Structure 1
Amino acid sequence: MDRKYLIGAILVIIVIIIGCAVYFGQSHVERADDELVVAAYSHGGEPESGFDPILGWNYYSEPLIQSTLLKMNRNMSYENDLATNYTISDDYKTYTVQIRDDVKFTDNTPLDAEDVAFTYNEAKKTGASLDLSNMNNATAVNPTTVQFDLNKSDSTFLDKLAYIGIVPSDSYNNETYGSNPVGSGPYKFAQWDKGQQVILERNDNYYGDQPEFKKLTILFAQNEAAFNAAKNKEVDVSAVPLAYAKENVDGYNMYLMDTIDVRGISLPTKMNTGEKNPDGGDVGNNVTGDIAIRKALNYGIDRTSLCEGALNGIGYPNYDGIAHQLPWANNATAIEDGDIAKANETLEKAGWVDSDGDGIREKNGTKASFELYYSSDAPERQAIAVSVSEQAKEMGIEVKAIGSNWDEMDGIKNSQAIVWGFGSTDPSTIWSEYHSSQAGIGYNNPSYVNDSVIDQHIDNAFKQSRESSYSEWSNAVWDGSHGISPQGDASWLWIGEIKYGYFVDDSLDISNDTALLQPHGGDIFGNIYDWKRVSSIEK
């Protein structure tokens, strides 16, 4: 090639490279003061089935697009949303709810009791959002009254009235609704760019308090991508893992929000005898099936150290899976953990000894070695798994931390240890986690807890008013002689409660003093009605 043409080509390439660098480096997103861009993967993430409450969209959080019958406030009590009043029968088997008569969906069709009944009956069929197995059916008594008939006493059914967004019965199609949802919430669906974002527009016909912001873009960025979105001024709010919570980002404040979200490790309580769960998966583990292993881990693991390290100093030790802010928390489950001497004594008394000097105990030819799985896209779970693995070595127990995904873990959840997250204002989660009838059903009771005394406490709780039932829910985890806590069956190794970290642009006030206690999965938009732009966005 002629030299002058070669030089010319090189100059063209350089210009293109510089142009691309300028273009792609210009990452600041232009937006108006009444627009919000939020990286809120913690708020449910990108739903596989779209924005359909019947198929699981944000059933513990503000669904934004749809309305719910009730809403929970900061005091963990319920307020009316679509509902105007409700009554509960003395036996907690019938719930009757009156609803507003002035609500329309965003397609301009009226919302009435038929839509409420339809939504709940369909949600029961799918089982993708809430466990509604206790509900026989929901019936529209008249246009403004819906009745829920249960097959057993359940004082926690009130919680279910706050968790499912209502869909229009006349136009609902389970194959198409999720990608083009119609609702009656504060925002209406505008656009879904799969794998990237969803765009919502303010519903100016919303019956409740109007949010200030006309447009809400929710990015599905998570972890490092969410952190970079804040650094590049691409967002107003960015939810980040705890590993980034102590970072400084120019132009942003870090908000650490209280949660009831607890991290813990399920420890299969049964030996592997060839038993299968309802889905055909293996049940039992010949190491964690020995209570001495489970107790040793519960007494030997130093939760305070894990909260300082794995949870970046923003954790709170937990021993039973119930966050300390909840009214049924049980302080009696707390122990003096990190007691290696007690852990080793427990193991030796049970016959677990290191006879070959390799640092791993064994008993009857079985090594004290098992696998611990965690979700690879959850940094704090990885940190927990790795830290537990390191601490367990001091007890002569080999714990192999393995990153995975929920498709794989679904098949091994009853035979291998797994790092989980739980946290709800609905106390019936204790039933799903620990009642023997729930063992191996979906993600319920993965450790196969089987204790008739625990079951009785839970059964009793359902038959009492929500407030009076708290002591029974508390006793289910430890009543002085039975429970899943370290002093009892030690069927879980609960680690700690976490906080949620959000970088918030200096121009925005998210009214932290009205923010709700965050459940598992997060509810950053729970008080979006109170968010204000206090200064113009830096352009």
Structure 2
Amino acid sequence: MRLARPAAVLTTLSVALLTACSAPSGPAGPGGAQKADDTFVIGLSSEFENLSPVLGYAADGGSLIFDGLMSRAPDLSLKPSLAAEAPVTSADGKKVTFKLRDGVTFHDGRPLTSKDVVYTYTTVLDPKTSSPISGDYAAIGKVSAPDARTVEFTLKYPYAPLTQRTTLGIVPDGGVDPAKPVGTGPYTFTQWTPGDKIVLAANEKYWGGAPAIKKVVVAFAPDDNVRSTRLAAGEFDATVLPPKAAKRFEGQQGVTVYKQDSADYRGIMFPSKPEVTGDLAIRKAFSLAMDRQAMVDTILAGAGKPAFGPISPDISWHNKAITGNPAADLPQAQQVLDAAGWKQGAGGIREKDGVKASFTIMYPAGDSLRKELTLAAASDAKKAGIEVKAAGLDWDAIEPRMAQDALMMGYGSPYDLDYINYDLFHSAQAGKGFFNPGHYSNPKADAALVKGRESGDPAVRKQAYDEFQQLIHDDAVWTYLAFLKHVYVVRGAYQGVQQSVDAHEHATGGLFRDIHTWKPAS
């Protein structure tokens, strides 16, 4: 997944911010300028396309500029944020009512009212907005404000994840200048220098208490090695690194390496239309040929676990029938290819009706982890007679090729299964940017996703999502390789750091959700 796409990077800011907390005095900051003692610099791998919640920024909560009606505790449970208390849901599940917290103001001094909440959600749903997250709120029929402190969501059908979706940041009624975002969060926007950095300042009047960290700079550095080098030089106070790149910092005085559990996976998305990747036998054999355990042990330095589907075994939604051999099963892979008519050809590469078993896997060039996984996958596939050409490209080059070439992608969420999976696998989402880029279409999978989305019965939803997981496993839509542990490197020691389970890389949850509550350890 491209982190800089609106629906994919919604929450990158908070993750980056959380780690940037203990700058030593004196080192140069971004661009070589002297860094002030009260400034904390985070090295982030990719730049945001926008800071607008209605366009998808921080939809899962975790923006330091914006608050949602609800937020997440470290254990991922929901807690009131701009809401004064948990919402009330009607007996039929079609009306959800929130009461707003008193005394909250936007950064520009305007008081928060229910009209701001109505404006935010109706703008997301307005087709003229073309919001990439509008589908996540499709169950909403109407949002109304009976009074200044009350918000009512009237739903088209009972939608169990509705309250989880209300982590979306609230913007002022009428909107704001996109170049100067205004929210209610613990940090205020100061400056955005495209291609370089974003600067935030503590909101001293924040309803939840003024942050101890007074200034945060998010510096953009796509290359993993560059971020590692700049952190080592003291230019960054914190960053997120692949496990192997972070090893140099383990045991260093004044530096803490956090390894965070996650539902974040890496896997290969196959386009369904091309002749080779559109062949189920190729996809199944490819998956069987993967030595996932070796990838975890070497490329991830043990910071992860083999993956066979999009739902982590650590999550209750996981279908226990979805499993596999962590090591490669080459005899089975070869048997699948033989049965499908893919015969050994020149150089050991299989052929069928004059077509070589050959395709390209793209990966973002600056992402060393995805590069290594792609090269390992190519090596494993060759043993089964499948030729893989690895192509490291920038995201602008990758995006228009996703319907033709495979892609090393990443997604994952520990929240409700409606998250991400509907967008990634329902046929109605086919070709919508990084949603269902391979144009997967299976009416049974569509029906299971809709049932899981629209039912209010937990047992019905579990059965629907178990069926969904089985279908995409049988169709070998992706080859899932590993669930990652996220590795954060932070200078200094802080009180209030709480670990949890992360969603996709740089998304909300886990270690960095509450950076505004961190305090330097005495």
Give the gaps of 5 or more residues in structure 2: 1-26
Structure 1 segment 38-57 matched on structure 2, within 5 A:
38-41=41-44, 45-49=46-50, 51-57=51-57
SS state of the match for residue 381, structure 2? helix
**C-alpha separation in 2, matches of 1:119 and 1:23:** 39
Which residue in 1 is equivalent to 2:466?
475
User: Contact between 1:314 and 1:499, CA under 8 Å: does it hold in 2?
Assistant: yes
User: Contact between 1:101 and 1:112, CA under 8 Å: does it hold in 2?
Assistant: no
Q: Which moved more, 1:256-265 or 1:520-529?
A: 520-529
Which residue in 2 is equivalent to 1:148?
153
**C-alpha separation in 1, matches of 2:513 and 2:300:** 24
Across the aligned residues of Structure 1 and Structure 2, the Cα RMSD in angstroms comes to 2.6
Cα 1:358–1:74, aligned 2, differ >3 Å: closer, same or farther? Answer: same
**C-alpha separation in 2, matches of 1:399 and 1:111:** 54
From 493, 506, 515, give the equivalent of 1:528.
515
SS state of the match for residue 141, structure 1? strand
Structure 1 segment 270-419 matched on structure 2, within 5 A:
284-337=273-326, 338-354=328-344, 356-419=345-408
User: Contact between 1:36 and 1:236, CA under 8 Å: does it hold in 2?
Assistant: no
Q: Which moved more, 1:240-249 or 1:395-404?
A: 240-249
Q: What does the per-residue CA deviation read over 1:190-234, in whole Å, with 9 as the maximum and x for residues that have no partner? A: 222332222212112111144222222222234223212221122
Q: What does the per-residue CA deviation read over 1:307-326, in whole Å, with 9 as the maximum and x for residues that have no partner? A: 22333332211111112332
SS state of the match for residue 102, structure 2? coil
**C-alpha separation in 2, matches of 1:510 and 1:363:** 61
1:80, CA displacement in angstroms? 0.5
**C-alpha separation in 2, matches of 1:371 and 1:215:** 44
Cα 1:395–1:209, aligned 2, differ >3 Å: closer, same or farther? Answer: same
Which residue in 1 is equivalent to 2:269?
266
1:392, CA displacement in angstroms? 0.4
- Sequence identity (%): 30
User: Contact between 2:75 and 2:500, CA under 8 Å: does it hold in 1?
Assistant: no
Which residue in 2 is equivalent to 1:70?
70
Structure 1 segment 445-464 matched on structure 2, within 5 A:
445-464=436-455
Structure 1 segment 29-178 matched on structure 2, within 5 A:
30-32=35-37, 35-41=38-44, 45-49=46-50, 51-84=51-84, 85-124=86-125, 125-129=129-133, 131=135, 132-162=137-167, 164-170=168-174, 172-173=175-176, 177-178=177-178
**C-alpha separation in 2, matches of 1:36 and 1:145:** 39
Matched, 1:490 2:502: no
**C-alpha separation in 1, matches of 2:142 and 2:43:** 34
Q: Give the counterpart letter for 1:528 in structure 2.
A: I
From 498, 502, 506, give the equivalent of 1:517.
502
1:405, CA displacement in angstroms? 2.7
**C-alpha separation in 1, matches of 2:91 and 2:447:** 20
User: Contact between 1:516 and 1:526, CA under 8 Å: does it hold in 2?
Assistant: no
1:510, CA displacement in angstroms? 5.8
Which residue in 1 is equivalent to 2:4?
none
1:97, CA displacement in angstroms? 1.9
Which residue in 2 is equivalent to 1:203?
203
User: Contact between 2:114 and 2:149, CA under 8 Å: does it hold in 1?
Assistant: yes
The higher relative CO (CA closer than 8 Å, separation ≥ 6) is in 2
Q: Give the counterpart letter for 2:295 in structure 1.
A: L
**C-alpha separation in 2, matches of 1:345 and 1:181:** 57
**C-alpha separation in 1, matches of 2:310 and 2:281:** 20
- Length, aligned pairs only: 483
**C-alpha separation in 2, matches of 1:483 and 1:384:** 25
User: Contact between 1:509 and 1:533, CA under 8 Å: does it hold in 2?
Assistant: yes
SS state of the match for residue 63, structure 1? coil
**C-alpha separation in 1, matches of 2:33 and 2:253:** 13
Return the TM-score normalized by structure 2. 0.86
1:23, CA displacement in angstroms? 9.2
Matched, 1:435 2:426: yes
Which residue in 2 is equivalent to 1:274?
none
User: Contact between 1:73 and 1:516, CA under 8 Å: does it hold in 2?
Assistant: no
1:449, CA displacement in angstroms? 3.1
Cα 1:515–1:462, aligned 2, differ >3 Å: closer, same or farther? Answer: closer
Cα 1:213–1:416, aligned 2, differ >3 Å: closer, same or farther? Answer: same
SS state of the match for residue 178, structure 2? helix
Q: Give the counterpart letter for 1:241 in structure 2.
A: P
Q: What does the per-residue CA deviation read over 1:268-321, in whole Å, with 9 as the maximum and x for residues that have no partner? A: 33xxxxxxxxxxxxxx01012111111111222111112223333322111111
User: Contact between 1:430 and 1:473, CA under 8 Å: does it hold in 2?
Assistant: no
Return the TM-score normalized by structure 1. 0.83
Cα 1:136–1:408, aligned 2, differ >3 Å: closer, same or farther? Answer: farther
Matched, 1:182 2:186: no
Which residue in 2 is equivalent to 1:280?
none
Q: What does the per-residue CA deviation read over 1:158-209, in whole Å, with 9 as the maximum and x for residues that have no partner? A: 22101x2111114x24xxx232111111111222233222221211211114
1:513, CA displacement in angstroms? 3.1
1:90, CA displacement in angstroms? 4.5
**C-alpha separation in 2, matches of 1:104 and 1:96:** 21
Which residue in 2 is equivalent to 1:279?
none
Cα 1:238–1:268, aligned 2, differ >3 Å: closer, same or farther? Answer: closer
Cα 1:398–1:156, aligned 2, differ >3 Å: closer, same or farther? Answer: same
Q: Give the counterpart letter for 1:182 in structure 2.
A: V
SS state of the match for residue 333, structure 1? coil
**C-alpha separation in 1, matches of 2:98 and 2:178:** 26
SS state of the match for residue 106, structure 2? coil
